[in-house]
Amino acid sequence: MRRVLLGHHVIRAAMILVICSVVIAYAHADSIDTFTFSASLANNNGPVTGHFTLNKTAGTITSFDIKTPVMELNSTNFSQTGAFVFTFTPALSPNIDLVIFEFLDVFRDHIILVFAADLATFDGSGFLTTPITIPTGTGSSEVVCAGSAGAGSPLCSVGGFQSSFASGVATPVPEPATLVLFVSGLLGLGCKKLLR
């Protein structure tokens, strides 16, 4: 019986060592997070939903799919769409750190999301709907569809559409490594109860 208990302690110690190694390796990797986005356009112009994956270390968006009432921009065709990350520490007005995500197509249709945050600690909170001033000019979070299907952008269903946002929020999607740690902890607690 004593050898069996000793074996369980060795297995438990090995599992803890493996989990710690994974956590340490993950902490040194690029900080990549996926966010879901949900918003309402001003003047009851409809909802905006989607997701984007942000590499905070490189300052890039690696994938995205944002849907508005008049168009959908996504990363499945990077020859016609793109995404850019801009940071201002601080912006001219308001005098706070800003992270700006711009999703656009080659026809100048775009979705701009502005957050009061810095890139290193960006967690999806702080979405701004008010005007901002940066060194290149003024703007705000907005959806712009300049052309329409067949006349300009094939991605727009309505031409000449422009709307600011009434509200919005980006929510982090739990990472697989975080879920593995959580499940490992639950399994550990369950095993501890079984051994008693």
* pLDDT score recorded for residue 76: 84
pTM score: 0.74
Rounded Cα distance between 121 and 2, Å, is: 49
- Cis peptide bond upstream of 90, omega within 30: yes
Rounded (5°) CA angle 88-58-35: 80
pLDDT in 10s for each residue of the chain, 196 residues: 555 555 555 566 555 545 544 444 444 356 899 999 999 999 999 999 999 999 999 999 999 999 999 988 998 876 678 899 999 999 999 999 999 999 998 888 899 999 999 999 999 999 999 999 999 999 999 999 886 554 556 677 777 889 999 999 999 998 765 545 555 666 665 555 555 5
Q: What are the domain boundaries of the chain?
A: 2-29+176-195, 32-172
Strand-pairing partners, residue 40, are 47, 167
* pLDDT score recorded for residue 23: 46
Q: Which DSSP category does 98 fall into?
A: E
Rounded Cα distance between 96 and 115, Å, is: 10
